[in-house]
A and B are shown apart, each in its own frame.
Chain A
């Protein structure tokens, strides 16, 4: 199981693979070593305890502690920046109508290790399972740094597929304005979403509802705090939101593409 807790003896190493990330972890008596490596091609997801020590030339990060514990936990997390979402092609949403989309977002992996006998944990890694391209939402003079998604927003989960290192985010867009909404791209604060596990492999995130209130007004965005319908009612929550305080916000969410004049 990719998102689980495991035990690791002293002077042993393990390899975690998911998405395009290979992450080596070594436990010593007084030190944890972790080495994340981004790969060009996706690797078969899995967690393997290695018989031999990994190579020394990996990009190791070291954590020295009084005494290492034997528990290691891998937890998914939504990206630390908002995501710019685009549909396959621009969509018009008339006033008082709504529409649903699904987006598949690559998750980050957080590694927690036991920190002493009291059961407390120490986070030693927070790495993307897929390196996302940077993007910008807003004017060049003021805006917010985002990640761009290569996959587009879809209408059905069957079009997205289930992958162990991607979370499916349901988005409902409601046009409460008097004018039609031309939806070309949308900035989604995925840091406010928790993650749920559905079945063995699929990850789902909190559903977001975006209420469009006109071109000049800020959109109202709210995030549900329960498993989305696609994940099933009993889907366990396996990760809390990165920014738990922002469950309902007013935000500049929609933007149409603009051209920037060549100087």
Chain B
């Protein structure tokens, strides 16, 4: 026992400088993470959230990797052997984890192509949300009802998605229907005035007011109003209310879907009359069979 302790003490005394250097290198890993945080704070106003995240993560991972390699070298590992072994292991792991590798490479393509950035609003299939982070294997979205959605990078490379907030202005398209009796010119003029008076609707580009055609129950109109992307909710709430109030005031009818029963060009429409008392008396009592229906 004493001999073991003595050997350990001798080894410790002989390797003390190496152990100190290795300890310092390990202790520098938290320092690199702290430096990454300081870098993030310094560059926050100069870089976009996406670039800031890439810069911070790149600094943190590269710094940590270099420190680990230096530590291994310090404690006596032959780095070339380690790296060679890592290559062989990498090939083996690569075959076993093709999906992860595919996601990894897709992630690199997404970083280079930059179809979206952290903070953009994405629509992927039936999911919409704000890009929370872009990582090596996946993109994380935060939906508007505050759920966390993970999208594999490979999926984003393969499928169609929409970056809703890529451009600074957007158009809100509202499908409207007005009754056939309405003067379509007057309706279009009223819509122009509604857009003109709404402070969230952009004056330029001018709103699009398009008479789309003759619908089943109404004259169909497309009312497209441009807005700054951050005004989406304000515009949608205010312009819908403006349309309803102004149409009510102007007496412009928004018809609900209806159907006319008609037997042909030579006949008059069926006369329909509802008489409350007769309808009530004609209704059979429970258990009673109507005359004329007995067999």
Contacts and interface: CB of A to CB of B under 8 A. Distances in A.
Given A142-B168, A143-B168, A136 B196 contact: no
Interface string A129-170: 001111111001111010010000000000000000000000
B82 interface: no
Given A145-B228, A148-B204, A262-B210, A134 B199 contact: yes
A133 B200 CA distance: 7
Nearest to B212: A262
Interface in A228-263: 257-258, 260, 262
A134 B208 contact: no
B208 A135 contact: no
B227 interface: yes
A84 B203 contact: yes
A105 to B, nearest CB: 15
Contact of A148 (B203, B227, B231): B203
Contact of B201 (A133, A145, A258, A262): A133
Nearest to A137: B204
Given A84-B203, A135-B203, A148-B203, A262 B196 contact: no
A134 B203 contact: yes
Interface in B17-34: none
B119 interface: no
A134 B202 contact: yes
Interface string B187-203: 00000000011111111
B167 interface: yes
A145 B226 CA distance: 12
B167 A133 contact: no
A145 to B, nearest CB: 6
A133 B196 contact: yes
Contacts of A136: 168-169, 202, 204-205, 226, 228
B172 to A, nearest CB: 13
B199 A132 contact: yes
Contacts of A135: 202-204
A133 B206 CA distance: 12
Contact of A140 (B169, B196, B199, B206): B169
Contacts of A131: 199
B49 interface: no
Interface centre among B169, B210, B222, B227 (most CB of A within 10 A): B169
Contacts of B199: 131-134
Given A84-B203, A134-B227, A134-B228, A260 B208 contact: yes
A145 B200 CA distance: 12
Nearest to A84: B204
B63 interface: no
Interface string B212-227: 0000000000101011
Nearest to B222: A262
A257 B204 contact: yes
Contacts of B226: 136, 140
Contacts of A148: 203-204
Contacts of A132: 199
A136 B169 CA distance: 8
A136 B205 CA distance: 7
B200 A134 contact: yes
A142 B169 CA distance: 9
A262 B202 contact: no
Interface of A: 84, 131-137, 140-143, 145, 148, 185, 257-258, 260, 262
Given A133-B201, A136-B204, 11 more contacts: A133-B198, A133-B199, A133-B202, A134-B201, A134-B227, A135-B202, A143-B169, A148-B204, A185-B204, A260-B205, A262-B210
22 contacts: A131-B199, A132-B199, A133-B196, A133-B197, A133-B202, A134-B200, A134-B203, A134-B227, A134-B228, A134-B231, A136-B168, A137-B204, A140-B168, A140-B169, A140-B205, A142-B167, A143-B168, A185-B204, A257-B206, A260-B208, A262-B210, A262-B222
Interface of B: 167-169, 196-206, 208, 210, 222, 224, 226-228, 231
